[in-house]
A = this chain, B = another copy of it.
Amino acid sequence: MAKYVFGVDIGGTTVKMGLFDVEGNVSDKWEIPTRTENGGVHILPDIAAAIQAKMSEKGIGKADVAGVGVGAPGPVDGDGIIHKAVNLGWGEMDLKKELTALLDGIHVEGGNDANVAALGEMWKGGGQGHKDLVAVTLGTGVGGGIIINGRIMTGATGSGGEIGHIHVEDHETEACGCGNYGCLEEYASATGITRLARRKLQASDKDSILRQGELSAKAVFDAVKAGDALAVEIAEQFGEYLGKGLAVIAGVVNPEIFVIGGGVSKAGEVLFDYIRPSFDRTVFHGCRDTKFALATLGNDAGIYGAAKMVLE
């Protein structure tokens, strides 16, 4: 009976790695650099070498390893094939097959990083105890991961859960990074909140502590907590968009819980005060009891979820 599983989260700069037991307890965490040169040819060999070194160091034999789970930044289909990971220099890459070969036959599972992080939050994070879950990552962009009945919903082409790019505003004049206009990401990401704040400060004559110092999502929610009226208006705009977007997602997927993570979520439960009004007003009544929770695993969600993929 295998006792160990490795969780690997490939980012554009570093690869995060974790050694877990099959119950999900992590006994070691470390990072290696992501070498993206030459179309990213070194990435998987570097990962394989790091895993083999760790196995030697700990005296872990091949038979002791249930497998290696890998999250990667790009669309990954149900067969573990990643279709274009621009940040890694990869075109199409059969993660499972390539890494299994490098690891002398050890079982490998692969998934999209946002989806894998969602699985991690379900297993050991803010979504513990649930099996139908939508994870929402409010960072530089807005990412998402959808878990149905305990399993990642990849979608037909690996774009399942790309909730940052659902259309929520018809009258936007600035394009989203994806090229469309009015995507959720333009209002609910850290960048989006900063943009809302900039617009609000320009359009208003009101006094605000946001007029000093550098504008950021953190500054906005700090000002909200300090009772700044203009910051509250910005938070209301953010919450109006995000609450309506999540209400639509609830009507489609009907999860038990939304787990909110990413840098913006560091503001804490105050976020829910701004998300819930528009959510409650627009959501289908059968989904009105959907719970909201904060993500708890931070940057480790990916290695947890990657490990969990192997154990499903």
Contact = CB atoms under 8 A, between A and B. Distances in A.
Interface of A: 75, 78, 132, 146, 148-149, 153-163, 165-167, 178-180, 182, 244, 247-249, 251-256, 281-287, 289-290
B284 A155 contact: no
Contact of A162 (B158, B160, B251, B289): B251
Contacts of A255: 155-156
A159 B155 CA distance: 19
Contacts of A156: 132, 254-256, 290
Contact of A285 (B167, B178, B256): B178
Contacts of A148: 148, 153
6 contacts: A157-B289, A165-B251, A166-B248, A167-B248, A167-B282, A248-B252
Nearest to A278: B167
Contacts of A256: 156
Contact of A180 (B154, B157, B252, B282): B282
B167 A254 contact: no
Q: Of A251, A255, A290, which is in contact with the most chain B CB atoms at under 10 Å from its CB?
A: A251
A282 B182 contact: yes
A238 to B, nearest CB: 16
A253 B289 contact: no
Contacts of A283: 167, 180
A234 to B, nearest CB: 19
Interface class of chain A by DSSP? loop
Nearest to A254: B155
Contacts of A254: 154-162
Contact of A159 (B161, B179, B182, B251): B251
Given A252-B160, A254-B158, A284 B165 contact: yes
A167 B154 CA distance: 24
Contacts of A162: 251-252, 254, 284, 286-287
Contact of A163 (B75, B167, B251): B251
A244 to B, nearest CB: 6
Q: 3 tightest CB-CB pairs across the interface, nearest first? A: A155-B254, A159-B286, A167-B282
B157 A287 contact: yes
Given A166-B248, A178-B284, A251-B162, A149 B78 contact: yes
A145 to B, nearest CB: 11
Given A148-B148, A247-B167, A248-B166, A153 B284 contact: no
Given A132-B156, A166-B284, 17 more contacts: A148-B148, A148-B153, A156-B254, A156-B256, A156-B290, A157-B286, A158-B286, A159-B286, A160-B254, A167-B247, A167-B248, A179-B285, A180-B283, A248-B252, A249-B252, A252-B253, A253-B253
